[in-house]
Amino acid sequence: MQNLPDIALLLKNRAAEVERALSDALLPFSDEAAIARLQEAMGYALTGGGKRMRPFLVLETAALFGAEDRAMEAAIALEMIHAYSLVHDDLPAMDDAETRRGKPSVHKQYDEAIAILTGDALLTESFFVLTSYEGALCRELCRELSRAAGTHGMVGGQMMDLYPEGETEEHIIALQDRKTGALIECAAAMGALVGGASDEETAALRTYAKKLGLAFQIADDLLDVTQTAEEIGKPAGRDEEMGKATFVGLLGEDGARARLRQVNDEARAALGQVERDTSVLEALLDWQAGRTS
Amino acid sequence: MQNLPDIALLLKNRAAEVERALSDALLPFSDEAAIARLQEAMGYALTGGGKRMRPFLVLETAALFGAEDRAMEAAIALEMIHAYSLVHDDLPAMDDAETRRGKPSVHKQYDEAIAILTGDALLTESFFVLTSYEGALCRELCRELSRAAGTHGMVGGQMMDLYPEGETEEHIIALQDRKTGALIECAAAMGALVGGASDEETAALRTYAKKLGLAFQIADDLLDVTQTAEEIGKPAGRDEEMGKATFVGLLGEDGARARLRQVNDEARAALGQVERDTSVLEALLDWQAGRTS
């Protein structure tokens, strides 16, 4: 755990860089007042804080190959997808969440129509951002991102979450692999693509990220039952209230903690196959297991 | 007007090809019931009929350069964007339309959450479809489509429509250029890209499509006041009821008809600059001016 302070600082610094790049990507503001208002809402959705773990993972994976300077567009494209999914997820017809990270959600701050269009615009602009890469790389990144975010990835996971079919651990993992795991795996895959990683390195980094994503979800489930709303920045006990299948509900608190350790060990083992300086990605595992929000 | 029967048949044949390609693009169906249900809803949104004018224009523009065989992916990617926009537009928080082309809209046939996710999935898959092209072309097509559909294109136009700032003709044109014109211009631009058109040819084809899109909107406004609900397949007189600015409201019926003829002439003049066999694109103008639904 000796790396924990470092990773918190690294995350904070990267988050500041990412937020600057996200704000810049919205410019210039339109002369049309209605469009400028849409851009304002996009900015609100993009700059509400958060750990920026997905762009961090894109940047730090690319950094294994000395390519972090070329990875920011991939990082913000992915964060735009994440942000759009939160805006749509919070809508009354979906999770009906009035706050997000302690602030009014987009449809409360603006209105439902603006929230729908804000999500649509962020999703669309995400692919525009990727066209800053040259042809072959742009194509690979678009393919990776559209797969991770689409029907068989994140959106599919959201459908599974809304229309649950079972409460087995297998089913929760299948759901979480798509709903949150797909974008986190995508982060590592995009960093590897920008960095020009070998197939073996890419496969190992995907496994690492997939396990990290699962660990992240288990830790989130644990936080939902052990922390207060103020500590986690959103209503606590919400999962149980919504009747959602969680790792804690299925395995109990101790069982979930044991599973979290196991998944973390599997992630660490995958990193062992990458012959690069993976100390930051290792430290990210420790930080994530110990986080309190 | 002698070409009118031909274009109706060409449209019908192309629409059948496009619908087959759209259905194929959704396969295979997922083993997960919730995801298969999402795919079913995507199919419902994609195969509800319609004239398929946008994919027609992609295919026929590519055909000017003998490239229609390579244009189907671009055509269906664009139609997926159009379909997603209709699904989200029909939502209660937006236009609150219970029917679309005489059938229940997606949120009535399924529910609001599924409609939101169906739109999100169609938008995302659209960019996946474009990755079937080689790198440089994929990049150009992604750039074209994301621009036309995004903040300063279609979504921006929807914002202008929801939060009107003025009722001048200039404002309606600025709105329609984005809301419907951008995707129609994009159709011609994508066909030109696939066909490898010169910059001059592309510019002329863009102008043609922009004018065609404007003519289409004026004709739609005229149909809204002159046809019955049964004839146009959606509630009639809806624009006025919603308090939306229309060309008919602004110019009167006769004025709108005169403007339609003028815009059609401008489109024809643009085609005159393309030294290819543009007879199909010319016939499309006559057909559009004379359509009754």
Q: What is the 3-state secondary structure (H, E, C) of B107-144?
A: HHHCCHHHHHHHHHHHHHHHHHHHCCCCHHHHHHHHHH
**Where is pLDDT greater, at A8 or A70?**
A70
Residue for token pair 């949104």: B45
Cβ contacts (< 8 Å) between B111 and chain A: which residues?
93
Q: Note whether B179 contacts A: Cβ–Cβ < 8 A.
A: no
Domain limits of chain A?
Answer: 4-290
Distance from C-alpha of A128 to C-alpha of A77, rounded to nearest angstrom: 8
pLDDT at B196: 98
Give the position of tokens 């979290």: A260
- Cα distance between residue B169 and residue B151, in whole Å: 22
Test mutation, B116, B125, B177, B179, chain A, max A CBs within 10 A: B116
| Longest CA–CA separation in chain A, Å | 56
**Rounded CA gap, A229 and A233, in Å?**
6
Contacts of A156 in chain B (CB under 8 A): 30, 32, 34-35, 38, 121
pLDDT band, very low/low/confident/very high, at B204 (cuts 50, 70, 90): very high
Residue A141 in this model has a pLDDT that exceeds 50: yes
Cβ neighbours of A155 in B, within 8 Å: 38, 117, 120-121, 124
The alpha carbon of residue B238 is apart from the nearest alpha carbon of chain A, in Å, by: 19
Contact A32 B111 (CB under 8 A): no
CB atoms within 10 A of CB B4: 14
Grade residue A239 by pLDDT with cuts at 50, 70 and 90: low
Model ipTM value: 0.94
Q: Is the pLDDT of residue B234 over 60?
A: no
Is the per-residue pLDDT at A114 higher than 90?
yes
> What is the pLDDT at residue A48?
79
> Which residue of chain B has the CA closest to A84?
B120
Tell me the average pLDDT of chain A: 92
Helix extents (H) in A150-278: 154-162, 169-176, 182-195, 199-226, 229-232, 238-241, 247-271
CB proximity list for A284: less than 8 A, separation 6 or greater: A7, A53, A56, A57, A60, A212
A136 contacts chain B (CB < 8 A): yes
**What pLDDT is attached to residue B245?**
73
| CA-based max dimension of chain B | 56
Whether B215 and B288 have beta carbons less than 8 Å apart is answered as yes
The residue among B124, B132, B177 with the most chain A CBs within 10 A of its CB, best to mutate, is B124
A227 DSSP assignment: S
Residue of chain B nearest A152, judged by CA positions: B35
Tell me if B124 and A30 make a contact (CB, 8 A cut-off).
Answer: no
**B130 in reach of chain A (CB within 8 A):** yes
Alpha-carbon Rg for chain A in angstroms: 18
Q: How confident is the model over B218-238, as a mean pLDDT?
A: 73
Percent of chain A at pLDDT exceeding 70: 92
- Report the mean per-residue pLDDT for chain B: 92
B34's tokens: 């919730």
Residues of chain A in contact with residue B123, where contact means CB-CB under 8 angstroms, are 120, 123-124
Mean pLDDT for the stretch of residues B187-191 = 98
Crossing angle between the packed helical segments B247-271 and B169-176, to the nearest 10 degrees = 60
B190 to chain A: which residues are within 8 Å by CB?
A: none
- What's the rounded mean pLDDT across residues A121-140? 98
CB contact under 8 A, B135 and A139: yes
CATH of B4-290, one of 3.30.1330.30, 1.10.600.10, 2.60.40.3080, 3.60.20.10: 1.10.600.10
Given pLDDT bands bounded at 50, 70 and 90, which one contains residue B4?
very low
What percentage of chain A has pLDDT greater than the value 90? Answer: 79
**A15 in Cβ contact with A52 (< 8 Å):** yes
Tally the C-alpha atoms within 13 A of residue B191's C-alpha that lie toward its C-beta. 30
Contact B206, B188 (CB under 8 A): yes
- The yes-or-no verdict on residue B230 having pLDDT over 70 is no
pLDDT computed for residue B237 by the predictor = 62
Confidence check: pLDDT of A287 > 80: yes
